[in-house]
Amino acid sequence: MKEIIKKRVLIPIIAITLLIAGSSFKGDFFEIAKQIEIFTTLFKELNMNYVDETNPAELMDTAIKNMLEDLDPYTKFLNEQDVESFKINNAGEYSGIGAVVRSYKDKVVIVEPYKGYPADKAGLKAGDEIIKIGDIAIADIQDDADELLKGANNTSVGITYVRQGETKSTTVNRESIEVDAVPYYKMIKENTGYIVLSKFNKKASEQTKEALLSLKNDGAKKIILDLRDNPGGLLTEAINVTNLFIPKGELVVTTKSKVKKFNREYKTTNQPVDTEIPLVVLVNGRSASASEIVSGSLQDLDRAVIVGARSFGKGLVQRPLKLTYGTQLKVTISRYYTASGRCIQSLDYWNRDENGNAVKNTQFRDFKTKNGRKVQDGGGVLPDIEIAAAKTNTLTQALLSDNVIFDYATDFYYNNTVENVLDFSYKDSDFASFKNYVSKSSFNFETKAEKALKEAMSGEDSTIFGNEVTDQYKSLLLEMDKNKLMALDKYKAEIQKNLEDEILKRYFYREGLYDYHLQNDEAIMTATVLLNDNGKYMNILK
């Protein structure tokens, strides 16, 4: 047991030592060494003397995670399995069942099966709850149950799952899975091409280039690049995608850090594909990181018109640092600044509120694009043309986070028939059924006003108000709760957009969803109209 303890103690020691070696703050060495010694002594004494048997690995894992929680959500300790997943995500290739999944304590839920891949061939659908993989019940596994779904090519695994309350089983034959960075591209009109770039893995710039050249060959004289819901990825790929539309040698992004070696200017290094073709880039509140480097710098260089809603606002750069035993520390090393010099980081993780939550930036500084247009920092990339239905709000975010929209889409799929994607229409009666679904669900959305009111009335001072005020307070909370259903109507456009997207994927996969968007999506239609009005397009950029 002592040997295990020694090995586990080495992990944070080596991690911190690496940080010391790369840091310019030599004056902190004594304080860091002191804290390491205190921790090492505490960890040893705790494991040797605690009244019950301890698990050093679990204790250390908890200690590391709690330490990193005080920083930002992107700085993480990666165990050996996490490291493998990280590599797969960046490479875009792995061996498994070909589905996006979500893990819980007692089940793994299929979020989206990829068309034509093993999970789809085996009949698995979005919403299926896997409760057993092979002979192992998910409830008996503490962590990473979804790792059991991965395995070598041409191996099979038995899966037991629950669908609409009925337990079923199937066998999935694992295959090599390729995750495309560009899952879809197509001509919209006779002269306008549309490209969806969904992630910035190692294939991003290559596949975007292939799509761009193919569309130009088909007659595209204008391009729409869709970065909505793209969470980001590799910084180098963001620069290479930007390079497709701007000349070689152009500054795209700058990174700044307390560690001098991480201070860099990133310029384009390749010959572009087309520096003149009119370009519109679509973003929304789930476009982050690398997506914001591309959209922000193309905006700063007046190379594209940005359409949609304010992006997520992630202006932080991470790098994996190798630790011992195949583990890594994915650590935030710098902030990035787009071509105009602005950092679009939205949340301040280093100055938190009284509840420990990161503070959202509300004060923005002005910057100038290449042509002198005003842009701002600190809150994501603000589009040149905003689309109301694309905006995010706390209610819609809560419905997504609590999987209310996802679960409703599952029920909708098993209770409705949709034959053709272009015939699909989400009616007012459907939205009424969604509101009814929300009212009967366990969804509990607490507004800031409710939270503040509850805190005020639960404190010691509440006793001075008397019964009459207390009763009024309860009535007010009840009335606020009732009005939440009315808020569903207020944000109907935003909510319905997410409902339609989730429902359409159930019937027609991603390809069908994008086909539907070409005919019905407000942002795409706005971009198409703009590109057909060269005068308006040029006026925005000037």
- Print the SS3 string covering 420-455: CHHHCCCCHHHHHHHHHHHHHCCCCCCCHHHHHHHH
- Decide: 212 and 193 in contact? Cβ < 8 Å: yes
Residues 406 and 371: beta-carbon distance below 8 Å: no
* Residue whose token pair is 């944000």: 491
Active-site residue (options: 198, 289, 311, 334): 289
Catalytic annotation present for 289: yes
Helix (H, G, I), strand (E, B) or coil at 39: helix
Which entry of 300, 377, 384, 521 is annotated as an active-site residue?
A: 300
Residue with tokens 């698990």: 55
Residue 237 contacts by C-beta under 8 Å, 6 or more apart in sequence? 181, 200, 201, 202, 204, 205, 290
Q: How many Å separate Cα 55 from the centre of its chain?
A: 33
Task: Decide if 330 is catalytic.
Answer: no
Interior/surface letters 62-71, b for 16+ CB within 10 angstroms, e for the rest: ebbeeebeee
Cβ-in-10-Å burial (0-12, 13-18, 19+) of 98 comes to: buried
Residue 539 phi, psi dihedral angles, 5° rounding: -65, -35
C-alpha–C-alpha distance, residues 227 and 311, integer Å: 10
CB-based contact 320:78 (threshold 8 Å): yes
Cα separations (Å) of 363 from 25, 366, 378? 30, 10, 7
Comparing CA positions, the residue from 305, 303, 267, 264 lying closest to residue 283 is 305
Question: Which of these, 370, 249, 240, 238, lies nearest to 300 by C-alpha position?
Answer: 370
Alpha carbon distance, N-terminus to C-terminus of the chain: 69
Active site residue 366: no
Phi, psi of 92 (to 5 degrees): 80, 15
Q: Are residues 162 and 127 in contact, defined by beta-carbon separation less than 8 angstroms?
A: no
Nearest to 501 by CA among 488, 516, 487: 516
C-alpha distance from residue 14 to each of 8, 9, 10, 11, 77 (Å): 10, 9, 6, 5, 13
* Amino acid found at 72: D
Q: 132, 314, 330, 505: which is the annotated catalytic residue?
A: 314
Active site residues: 289, 300, 314
